[in-house]
């Protein structure tokens, strides 16, 4: 497969992932971190870093809004819930395992 087709396929997969995460507002970032080791904020940072590497000038909050589908503060007001003690404990366990 050509490099062009590979890039197009990767871009399409990325767009599908972002759309999926936008629809799954019931899934909290801490759940993503606990299960997958990344969350919407991580994806926002990776996206922003890629734009920066390509020479695009964009504020981080703009990149974050691209991933969330709205400004982060708006998403947080609408969908964020405080993590449970169990979620927090799992997060701490997963972070300590990742650092080993």
Q: What would the pLDDT profile of 38-69 be if each residue is shown by its tens digit?
A: 999 999 999 999 999 999 999 999 999 999 99
Q: Choose among 85, 70, 58: nearest CA to 25.
A: 70
Question: If you compute the radius of gyration of the chain from its CA atoms, what whole number of angstroms results?
Answer: 15
Q: What percent of the chain has pLDDT over 70?
A: 98
Give the tokens for residue 26: 């019931």
pLDDT at 72 over 80: yes
pTM of the prediction?
0.89
Please tell me the predicted confidence (pLDDT) of residue 15. 98
Contact between residue 72 and residue 62 where contact means Cβ atoms under 8 Å apart: no
């Amino acid at each position: 497969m050509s490099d062009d087709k590979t890039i197009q396929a990767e871009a399409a997969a990325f767009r599908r992932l972002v759309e999926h995460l936008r629809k799954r507002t019931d899934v909290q970032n801490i759940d993503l971190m606990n299960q997958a080791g990344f969350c919407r904020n991580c994806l926002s940072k990776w996206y922003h870093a890629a734009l920066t590497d390509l020479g695009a000038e964009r504020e981080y909050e703009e990149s974050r809004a691209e991933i969330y589908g709205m400004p982060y503060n708006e998403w947080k007001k609408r969908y964020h819930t405080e993590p449970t003690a169990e979620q927090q404990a799992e997060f701490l366990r997963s972070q300590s395992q990742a650092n080993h």
